[in-house]
Amino acid sequence: MERDQHELYEYARDRIKQKKRLYFHFTVLLIGSCFLFVANKWLSFYPDRTWWTWAVAVWLFLFLLHAIKVFIVDSFMNKHWERSQIDKLMLQQSKKIEQLKNDLENAKPPIK
């Protein structure tokens, strides 16, 4: 496999792993929410309060953060974006080095 093809394969594999973890998180959220509801209502675990709604709300917020990371942040801040940023910074550094070399060559020697 060529290097470019291998990088594309690795990127696709990583994205699939991310999405798989997100779907697993969603499944655990659904099952866990049902368990919390059952624990509160049917098993009479603090039945005078509806604490399970707060627990599910916090868990749902964490799931939404996970989904934003997978579908929004990681979709545009990937290896291609990282590589272009590195190339951009390296170009700026090389220009600055060339400018410093030119300034040094054009500088007048100090008078003694």
**pLDDT (tens digit per residue) in 29-42:** 999 999 999 988 88
Q: Is the pLDDT of residue 111 over 90?
A: no
Residues 11, 78 contacting (CB under 8 angstroms): yes
Torsion of CA 56, 19, 76, 83, to 10 degrees: 130
Q: What b/e string do you get for 43-73 counting C-beta neighbours within 10 Å, with b at 16 or more?
A: eeeeeeeeebeeebeebeeebeebeeebeee
Asked if residue 65 has pLDDT above 70, the reply is yes
Measure the CA–CA gap between 75 and 86, rounded to whole angstroms: 18
Mean pLDDT of the chain: 87
pLDDT confidence of residue 74? 82
In tens, the pLDDT along 80-108 reads 778 888 888 898 999 999 998 888 888 77
Taking only the tens place, the pLDDT of each residue in 47-59 is 788 889 999 999 9
